[in-house]
């Protein structure tokens, strides 16, 4: 489980197919004692398991399976791709964002970017089957970041990113046409399921 508060930005150093998997080495500024083999790391959203890591703590390796490649932007990863990284929660950690599982529901697309006063407003198009889970002032995780929905209009919604978020994540690099990993709010998902059962 995660909070959607990004702790570091990593970069893909190498990536190669291994059967139905993609095996990636990610350079990371996360301290060596925080990433160990078997640990869970959210890599721009998807929760992946650390398969290997450098003794000096400057890199770790993950495998993205067929399901992850089919449902997320991991299928587009290349050498040089930058990723928002977050280590899984520990008991006693502060819950500063919202409950994020690292289980991506779909891929959304950036339709517009409006920059002003050091901030950026993004207009996002969600896959049609996920729109019912997105509400004004609700939470979404986009590329692993916990964000608040400002407006909703059909399949489109907007988010506003403050200067700090733009500085410590990959969002300042995002442009119109880019795809982002979307995880809907866990509580919205369960509420919709309960309504289906009534």
Q: Which domain CATH number covers 139? A: 2.40.30.20
Q: How many domains does the chain fold into?
A: 2
Does the CA dihedral 132-137-141-143 come out positive or negative? positive
Q: What is the mean pLDDT of the chain?
A: 91
117 with 64, same domain: the answer is no
> Residue 32's pLDDT is what?
65
Lowest model confidence (mean pLDDT) among 8-12, 18-22, 178-182, 190-194: 190-194
Q: Is 171 inside any structural domain?
A: yes
93 within a domain of the structure (yes/no):
no
Is 119 part of any domain?
A: yes
Is 147 domain-assigned? yes
Residues 110 and 171 in one domain: yes
Q: Is 61 a member of any domain? A: yes
Q: Does 70 share its domain with 140?
A: no
- Please indicate, yes or no, whether residues 122 and 189 belong to a single structural domain of this protein: yes
Same domain, 56 and 112: no
pTM for the full model? 0.91
Residue 83 has pLDDT above 70, yes or no: yes
Question: Looking at the domain assignment, is residue 33 inside a domain?
Answer: yes
Q: 29 vs 32, which has greater pLDDT?
A: 29
Pick 57 or 49 by higher pLDDT. Answer: 49
Q: Are residues 128 and 187 in the same domain?
A: yes
Q: Which domain holds residue 117?
A: 106-197
Q: Are residues 36 and 65 in the same domain?
A: yes
114 and 188 share a domain?
yes
């Amino acid at each position: 489980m995660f909070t959607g508060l990004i702790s570091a930005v990593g970069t893909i150093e190498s990536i190669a197919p291994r059967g139905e998997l993609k095996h990636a080495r990610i350079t990371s500024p996360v301290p060596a004692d925080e990433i160990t083999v078997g640990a869970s790391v959210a890599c721009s959203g998807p929760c992946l398991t650390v398969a290997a890591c450098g003794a000096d703590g400057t890199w770790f390796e993950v495998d993205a399976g067929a399901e992850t490649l089919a449902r997320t932007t991991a299928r587009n990863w290349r050498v040089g791709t930058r990723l928002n990284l977050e280590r899984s929660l520990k008991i006693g950690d502060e819950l500063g964002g919202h409950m994020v599982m690292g289980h991506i529901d779909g891929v959304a697309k950036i339709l517009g970017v409006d920059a002003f006063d050091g901030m950026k407003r993004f207009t996002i198009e969600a896959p049609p089957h996920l729109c019912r889970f997105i509400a004004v002032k609700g939470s979404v995780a986009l590329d692993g970041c916990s964000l608040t929905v400002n407006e909703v209009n059909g399949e489109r919604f907007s988010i506003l990113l403050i200067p700090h978020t733009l500085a410590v994540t990959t969002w300042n690099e995002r442009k119109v046409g880019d795809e982002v990993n979307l995880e809907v709010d866990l509580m919205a998902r369960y509420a919709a399921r309960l309504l289906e059962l009534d």
